[in-house]
């Protein structure tokens, strides 16, 4: 696998993440970093120097292998229990991105999707209605987050949720939102007079 292909999961578009270099004091972002790597490799390719481009991709690949091996060793040392630093690491957005990128994350896709939704639930509640592992298609239903219901507000909430999903579960290829009329109809409550109370009983 080439360095360009390896960086692809981190280079996937993410809503709300600005292009370019992160400012000093801001934690690095896996998607933004991946886009920067892709941009540098593209600029080298446009210069027409195939040897330089190949060397740059090899350099990225070597560094990826090195950091991936280090992450694997860290995950081995923190163990598998619920105590210690492991739970905090799995809740961390940046650490999660790196573990998924190197195929080291111990949780399955569905669990990581739940983590993503939990990370933004206080501001933007959403719940999974369906996930197809074969295609990567995810269907979500928005919960009541106390917003004004304006289309722009809903779109911003959707982007925030989708950004979290992209971070925690980059194998999700598409996100569809159910509207109010997409769900099943609620059961009809039948109201009738109180049934007889044993009028014929002795």
- Burial label for 158, CB within 10 Å (0-12, 13-18, 19+), is middle
Predicted pLDDT of residue 150: 62
Predicted pLDDT of residue 87: 86
Predicted pLDDT of residue 62: 92
Enter the pTM of the model: 0.60
- pLDDT per position as a tens digit, 91-129: 888 888 889 888 889 999 999 999 999 989 888 889 999
Cα separation of 167 and 188, whole Å?
41
Residue with tokens 């598998």: 80
- pLDDT per position as a tens digit, 41-57: 888 888 877 888 889 88
Predicted pLDDT of residue 129: 93
Q: Which 3 state secondary structure label does DSSP give 139?
A: strand
Regions of the chain short of the pLDDT cut 70: 1-29, 144-152, 180-202
Predicted pLDDT of residue 135: 92
């Amino acid at each position: 696998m080439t360095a360009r292909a390896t960086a692809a999961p981190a280079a996937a578009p993410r809503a709300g993440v600005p292009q370019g270099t992160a400012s000093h004091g801001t934690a690095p972002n896996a998607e933004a970093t991946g886009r920067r790597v892709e941009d540098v490799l593209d600029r080298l390719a446009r210069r027409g120097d195939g040897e330089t481009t190949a060397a740059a991709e090899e350099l990225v690949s070597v560094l990826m292998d090195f950091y991936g091996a280090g992450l694997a060793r860290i995950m081995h040392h923190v163990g598998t229990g619920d105590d210690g630093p492991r739970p905090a690491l799995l809740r961390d957005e940046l650490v999660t991105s790196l573990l998924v990128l190197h195929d080291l994350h111990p949780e399955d896709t569905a669990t990581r999707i739940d983590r993503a939704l939990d990370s933004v639930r206080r501001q933007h509640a959403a719940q999974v209605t369906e996930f197809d592992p074969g295609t990567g298609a995810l269907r979500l239903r928005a919960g009541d987050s106390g917003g004004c219901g304006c289309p722009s507000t809903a779109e911003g909430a959707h982007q925030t949720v989708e950004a979290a999903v992209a971070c925690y579960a980059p194998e999700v290829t598409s996100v569809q939102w159910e509207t109010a009329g997409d769900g099943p109809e609620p059961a009809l409550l039948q109201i009738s007079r109180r049934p007889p109370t044993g009028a014929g009983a002795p």
